[in-house]
Chain A
């Protein structure tokens, strides 16, 4: 099986990698590039733990082939904090204790970032619908929703 050579941009950096034609972008990120923030929950696009932003669209990286990243822009959880400074969403997730085991958290943060980029002042219902593609089995979602609401108000004031 011949490898596919891919040139892409990940969190603003030019990145080149070789992958197998049937390898998912999630596997490339985790196993070839050491970017293990995106998690594999279901591997079938149901849980959202592998969420990334691909050319300004929120997608499940388990449903994208690594080869498809050619010439595109990939944003992952690793690009969310600026050095030691957490993104307001990350800060609010900590303050509201919006996580327990943490497996779903990178996916929620990326999905919430995408949500607030498109709708800076969402209602609670819009947050719940917007994050419906991310599953959390620990928190019961309430703390996550509160954290996103709080982050939205901080980000609007910034």
Chain B
């Protein structure tokens, strides 16, 4: 095994492209090192991206926020501006693991690990976040929901690296929220989760919304029907009831040790309704 610490994206892409064996990108390592320890992967080349300029920084620009691929989730929770603008994304990222894991884990790693139960991903999908990708053919930007394609699989081509997650500048009266169900108070894998991002007008009517569910399908899913139900309403009880039903209906979960199909479908609706209620209240406060 070879360990490399490139100082530029070009160098990193070149290393990955030039390798004939198994390669792995290392940022926080909280998934990679566990998989190596368990014998699930044995990379010939590890490319540590933490020394690449800008990858450990959160930048606020006129367009919004750019979160570097190697930024530990703990840093998201310490960034007051990001917390104010994207509370749902930050609360989701901060739910991953313990304090120790928070000091290392990244949202890009969470996305690329491609677990259906990844905590930050439903929040990022709801937020309309985009992944900035650098590869042999140059740079491209795609919606985060286009990154995971199946459990453990992504749409990234050989040599491609996500260098940042991009979050747009918030319109007025807009907010997001994330909730997950686990059978204990923290440090567990989501049985079901939901992220909601919405914008309201001065009268309190929802003008746009995005609703995403985690752990109820092979990938995190965007429930467009739920968003359509919210838009044009004031998130009243009848609307939220319809939203809950739509989210339960959109769920295609599996039975496993964490929950049954029936339980997950029901709880998906409940989580989405509660997250929508929180996001709506937050939007009104802004």
Central interface residue in B3, B29, B50, B97, by most chain A CB within 10 Å = B3
Segment of A10-18, A58-66, A78-86, A144-152 engaged in the interface with chain B: A58-66
| Residues in A neighbouring B150, C-beta threshold 8 A | none
A111 CB contact (under 8 Å) in B28, B33, B100, B187 = B100
Given known contacts A44-B34, A59-B103, A133-B98, A21 and B72 CB-to-CB distance under 8 angstroms = no
Nearest chain A residue, comparing its CB with the CB of B78: A118
Nearest chain B residue, comparing its CB with the CB of A24: B33
- B248 to chain A: closest CB distance in Å? 31
A44 CB contact (under 8 Å) in B2, B37, B50, B99 = B37
Is the C-beta of A70 less than 8 angstroms from some C-beta in chain B? yes
Cross-chain contact A133 with B48 (CB below 8 angstroms)? no
| Residues in B neighbouring A24, C-beta threshold 8 A | 33
- Bound complex: CA of A44 vs CA of B97, how far in Å? 12
Nearest chain B residue, comparing its CB with the CB of A60: B100
Give the interface residue-count category, chain B.
20 to 34
Is the C-beta of A122 less than 8 angstroms from some C-beta in chain B? no
| Residues in B neighbouring A63, C-beta threshold 8 A | 28-30, 33-34, 100-101, 104
Is the C-beta of A4 less than 8 angstroms from some C-beta in chain B? yes
- Bound complex: CA of A1 vs CA of B3, how far in Å? 11
A70 CB contact (under 8 Å) in B5, B37, B99 = B5
Is the C-beta of B1 less than 8 angstroms from some C-beta in chain A? yes
Nearest chain B residue, comparing its CB with the CB of A64: B29
Q: Interface 1/0s, chain B 63-87, versus A by CB < 8 A?
A: 0000000001010000000000000
Cross-chain contact B74 with A57 (CB below 8 angstroms)? yes
| Residues in B neighbouring A130, C-beta threshold 8 A | 99
Q: Interface 1/0s, chain A 110-138, versus B by CB < 8 A?
A: 01001100000000000001111110000
Nearest chain A residue, comparing its CB with the CB of B46: A21
Q: Interface 1/0s, chain B 7-50, versus A by CB < 8 A?
A: 00000000000000000001011100110111000000010101
- Bound complex: CA of A129 vs CA of B72, how far in Å? 19
- Bound complex: CA of A132 vs CA of B96, how far in Å? 12
Given known contacts A68-B48, A114-B99, A133 and B33 CB-to-CB distance under 8 angstroms = no
| Residues in B neighbouring A60, C-beta threshold 8 A | 100-101, 104
| Residues in A neighbouring B28, C-beta threshold 8 A | 63
- A28 to chain B: closest CB distance in Å? 13
- B120 to chain A: closest CB distance in Å? 17
Cross-chain contact B97 with A129 (CB below 8 angstroms)? no
Cross-chain contact B99 with A21 (CB below 8 angstroms)? no
Nearest chain A residue, comparing its CB with the CB of B42: A22
Nearest chain A residue, comparing its CB with the CB of B98: A133
- Bound complex: CA of A3 vs CA of B138, how far in Å? 33
Central interface residue in B5, B28, B100, B186, by most chain A CB within 10 Å = B100
- B278 to chain A: closest CB distance in Å? 20
| Residues in A neighbouring B30, C-beta threshold 8 A | 45, 63
- B70 to chain A: closest CB distance in Å? 11
Cross-chain contact A133 with B100 (CB below 8 angstroms)? yes
Cross-chain contact B34 with A45 (CB below 8 angstroms)? yes
| Residues in A neighbouring B26, C-beta threshold 8 A | 65, 68
- Bound complex: CA of A33 vs CA of B38, how far in Å? 25
- B51 to chain A: closest CB distance in Å? 9
- Give 12 new A-B contacts, CB below 8 A, not counting A48-B100, A63-B104: A21-B1, A21-B2, A21-B3, A22-B3, A22-B36, A57-B74, A58-B103, A63-B33, A68-B50, A115-B99, A132-B98, A134-B98
Residues of B at under 8 Å CB distance from A? 1-3, 5, 26, 28-30, 33-34, 36-38, 46, 48, 50, 72, 74, 97-101, 103-104, 186-187
Residues of A at under 8 Å CB distance from B? 1-2, 4, 20-22, 24, 43-45, 48, 51, 54, 57-60, 62-65, 67-68, 70, 111, 114-115, 129-134
Query: Which 4 pairs from chain A and chain B are nearest by CB?
Result: A133-B98, A21-B3, A57-B103, A133-B100
